Amino acid sequence: MMEKHMTWSLFETLVTELARSGRVHDFMQSPKRRNFVLLRHDVDFSIERNAHMLGIERKHEVQATYCFLIDSPSYNPLSAEVQSLFRDIVSAKCHIGLHYRYNDNLDPEENSAAITRQLKTLSDIAGTTVDRFSFHCPSKKALNAKIAIPNAANCYGPEFFSFYPDEKVPQNPPVKYIADSNYSFPWGFPDHETLEAHDKIQVLIHADNIVDDEQPKSKNRDALLREKLKHITRDLNSMY
Ligand SMILES: [Zn+2]
């Protein structure tokens, strides 16, 4: 497992490289292509950090997909700050996706029905068509279920993701998946060499896991909590 973790300056280097390569395509167009990089962000916790990330992508004109939970205890899709982020994502020609909590106790059909409902709800809340979804902390069951929803892209579908249940990922999978997982990149860091080595790639980066260059990653959890505390304190101060 590689120890290299993402910092904001490394993220900007990645976005610059992607912009120069011209290889970033959207989930809806990529299945027809022989060469693409899909850039995805799952919004698990921090809205401020995802807004900062979008600012970097907007500057370099790189289009990513931001997947949102509608049942997060940490942010509210109807709040002013998330509504503002939705508008900024659309105006930056990026895309909004659903980040769905797959329920292992339901069968795939029931999960599919729930995803369809949540796609509609998020479309209404975001004021734009939400036509793609990813899974939050996907279990093997979720990845194995091969959920297919008409007119919506499953970011873990076979066109975008190669699943290896035994976790031994071959050197050249049909789609190379690069993702941050608890500050490390178990399937390779998205640097120039790795991006050049594969024709089809999906990159997942969580803004929550990106740290300032001078900040140790051990302090990141506290920094994330401080952000939420700031919002809750502001809310309380407005009342008392
Ligand atoms: Zn998640």
Residues 199 and 221 in one domain: no
Residues 165 and 237 in one domain: no
The number of domains in the chain is 2
pLDDT band at 3 (very low <50, low <70, confident <90, very high): low
Instruction: Flag whether 183 is in a domain.
Output: yes
C-alpha of residue 69 to centroid of ligand 1, in Å: 8
Instruction: Flag whether 227 is in a domain.
Output: yes
N-terminal to C-terminal alpha carbon distance within the chain: 49
C-alpha of residue 240 to centroid of ligand 1, in Å: 34
Segment 67-88, tens digit of pLDDT: 999 999 999 999 999 999 999 9
Question: What is the CATH classification number for the domain harbouring 66?
Answer: 3.20.20
C-alpha of residue 39 to centroid of ligand 1, in Å: 15
Residues 51 and 137 in one domain: yes
Instruction: Flag whether 222 is in a domain.
Output: yes
With contact defined as beta carbons under 8 Å apart, do 213 and 13 qualify? no
Residues 198 and 218 in one domain: no
Domain assignment of residue 28, given as a range:
11-207
pLDDT band at 1 (very low <50, low <70, confident <90, very high): very low
**Residue 34 CA neighbour count, 13 Å, CB half:** 0
Residues 138 and 53 in one domain: yes
Segment 25-54, tens digit of pLDDT: 999 988 789 999 999 999 999 999 999 999
C-alpha of residue 55 to centroid of ligand 1, in Å: 21
Instruction: Flag whether 201 is in a domain.
Output: yes
The first and second tokens of residue 121, run together, are: 């709800």
- Site of tokens 């390779």: 188
Segment 121-170, tens digit of pLDDT: 999 999 999 999 999 999 999 999 999 999 999 999 999 998 887 777 78
C-alpha of residue 237 to centroid of ligand 1, in Å: 31
The DSSP symbol for 161 reads -
Residues 142 and 40 in one domain: yes
C-alpha of residue 105 to centroid of ligand 1, in Å: 19
Residues 166 and 234 in one domain: no
pTM: predicted TM-score of the whole model, two decimal places? 0.95
Instruction: Flag whether 25 is in a domain.
Output: yes
C-alpha of residue 233 to centroid of ligand 1, in Å: 26
